[in-house]
Amino acid sequence: MKQIQVDQLGGPDRMKLVDAPNPVPGPKQALVEIKAAGVNFIDVYFRTGLYKGDLPLTLGQEAAGIVSAVGADVTEVAVGDRVAYAIMARGSYAAFAVVPAWQLVRIPDAVDFEHAAAAMLQGMTAHYLTHSTFPLSPSDTCLVHAAAGGAGRLIVQMAKMRGARVFGTVSTEAKAALAKAAGCDEVIFYTTQDFEVEVKRLTGGRGVDVIYDSVGVTTFLKGLNCIRPRGMMVAFGQSSGAVAPLDPSVLNVKGALFLTRPSLGHYCATREELLLRAREVLGWTASGKLNIRIDGTYPLSDVAQAHRDLESRKTAGKLLLVP
Ligand code: NDP
């Protein structure tokens, strides 16, 4: 079968399309024929070595497809099921992937493979951030960085579902239009405006209750000045680069703030929790309550271009590989 492999860490051209043996599912595993695979920053981090994996690496932690075989003791899915998954298994940049069966979620009939693959990782991330890490209520104001981005657009939509007031940062007019269409009450151009000044102005000096920060080094420290006392900084990503180590006493000086660095795996820790989030995300996708934006679809052979596009800051929504 066709598969993307990395035998040396580095740039996008290190990813090679190879012929690999068809994988065989072991106990409690299922073999999924991949119909669409999500392209995510986590794949970039494994490719460059920021996140560690053994070489040769397989990449891709999000996909939708059809169960084509199951190992022993699999109760969650059956051959022929339309399924999607995110995060726990690596290797979805391929024609087939072996996945722990408990990670697989059935796709509603009304959702196609592309939208299911596009919804899983960023959708469940937006879900845990807005419903669990800092459960928003109508009295809350949040700041969402990169509000037109893959995770950002979905966080904005879910924050509005929960009734919060939502500020979003973006870099361009086109992204501002997308962030507003997703539901942002206020859009801030963080490349040309001082977002701290804007947040203080828009909140009468109080600051927001929570920041969902996927951008990292360029936004993190200034963000701490924009949060009300005892509010929360949710540092969940690093599209501009990793945040430097922090002296905890800074959180006291800034107003007894809470800081968390969450990840999807820890918020889908059991099958029950995974199903709760995935069913809501895929159900809202089916009903149209959640709008999933696919920004590009590539064959496996164009994986390097997909990574270049994701890292280029030009995308707004999901990039997919279709084997
Ligand atoms: P996005 O679609 O948000 O793409 C990145 C966006 O970040 C860009 O479009 C850009 O928006 C903004 N950005 C700001 N500075 C830069 C820069 N220097 N280079 C590139 N982009 C920049 O990506 P995702 O939503 O997929 O992921 C964002 C981050 O969140 C990643 O670090 C990812 O790993 C992380 N993440 C973490 C999860 C978790 O559970 N912890 C789960 C999902 C994602 P603009 O042009 O408007 O500034």
Q: 3-class DSSP state for residue 134? A: coil
- The per-residue pLDDT for 57 is 96
262 Cα nearest atom in ligand 1:
41
- The per-residue pLDDT for 133 is 98
Measured in degrees and rounded to the nearest 5, phi and psi for residue 229 equal -50, 135
What's the CA gap between 14 and 280, in Å, rounded?
Answer: 37
Residue 144 domain flag: yes
Asked if pLDDT for residue 145 goes beyond 90, the answer is yes
What domain count does the chain have? 2
Residue 225 domain flag: yes
251 and 170 housed in the same domain: yes
Asked if pLDDT for residue 74 goes beyond 90, the answer is yes
Helices (H), the chain: 41-48, 113-128, 150-161, 173-182, 195-202, 220-224, 249-253, 264-267, 271-287, 303-311
The percent of residues above 90 in pLDDT, for the chain, comes to 99
42 Cα nearest atom in ligand 1:
34
For residue 275, count other CB atoms closer than 10 A to its CB. 15
Query: Which of 59, 128, 214, 277 is the best mutation target for the ligand 1 pocket, counting ligand atoms within 8 Å of the beta carbon and taking the most?
Result: 214
Q: What is the pLDDT of residues 266-317, one digit of tens each?
A: 999 999 999 999 999 999 999 999 999 999 999 999 999 999 999 999 899 9
Q: And the tokens for 147? A: 């509000």
Residue 274 domain flag: yes
**How far is it between the farthest Cα atoms of the chain?**
61
Q: Which residue has the tokens 């151009």?
A: 189
Residue 131 domain flag: no
- The per-residue pLDDT for 155 is 98
Residue 128 domain flag: no
190 Cα nearest atom in ligand 1:
48
99 and 37 housed in the same domain: yes
The residues, ordered by sequence, that sit 6+ positions from 295 with a Cβ below 8 Å of its Cβ are 315, 316, 317, 318, 319
CATH number for the domain that contains residue 43: 3.90.180.10
193 and 235 housed in the same domain: yes
Query: Which of 50, 213, 239, 267 is the best mutation target for the ligand 1 pocket, counting ligand atoms within 8 Å of the beta carbon and taking the most?
Result: 239
> Ligand 1: distance of its center to the CA of 22 in Å?
33
Q: Would you place residue 161 in the very low, low, confident or very high pLDDT band (cuts 50, 70, 90)?
A: very high
**For range 239-255, the mean pLDDT:** 97
- The per-residue pLDDT for 321 is 98
What's the CA gap between 184 and 207, in Å, rounded?
Answer: 17
Q: What is the pLDDT of residues 94-121, one digit of tens each?
A: 999 999 999 999 999 999 999 999 999 9
- The per-residue pLDDT for 87 is 84
Q: What is the pLDDT of residues 9-63, one digit of tens each?
A: 999 999 999 999 999 999 999 999 999 999 999 999 999 999 999 999 999 999 9
**Over the chain, what is the mean pLDDT?**
97
Q: Find the domain containing 201 and state its range.
A: 137-261
Report the nearest-CA residue for atom 11 of ligand 1. Answer: 146
CATH number for the domain that contains residue 251: 3.40.50.720
Domain boundary among 261, 286, 312: 261
62 and 81 housed in the same domain: yes
- Angle at CA of residue 14, ends 41 and 52, nearest 5°: 50
**For range 145-169, the mean pLDDT:** 98
238 and 151 housed in the same domain: yes
264 Cα nearest atom in ligand 1:
40
- The per-residue pLDDT for 143 is 99
Residue 98 domain flag: yes
- The per-residue pLDDT for 106 is 98
> Ligand 1: distance of its center to the CA of 152 in Å?
8
**For range 198-204, the mean pLDDT:** 98
- The per-residue pLDDT for 246 is 96
Report the nearest-CA residue for atom 9 of ligand 1. Answer: 313
What crossing angle do the helices spanning 41-48 and 303-311 adopt, rounded to 10°? Answer: 110
Which residues have CB under 6 Å of ligand 1? Answer: 40-42, 121-122, 125, 146, 148-152, 170-171, 175, 214-215, 218, 236-240, 262-264, 313, 315
165 and 226 housed in the same domain: yes
> Ligand 1: distance of its center to the CA of 81 in Å?
32
pTM score over 0.95? yes
178 and 231 housed in the same domain: yes
239 and 283 housed in the same domain: no
Q: Would you place residue 89 in the very low, low, confident or very high pLDDT band (cuts 50, 70, 90)?
A: confident
Which of the pair, 88 or 230, is modelled with greater confidence?
A: 230
Asked if pLDDT for residue 88 goes beyond 90, the answer is no
Residue 132 domain flag: no
Report the nearest-CA residue for atom 17 of ligand 1. Answer: 240
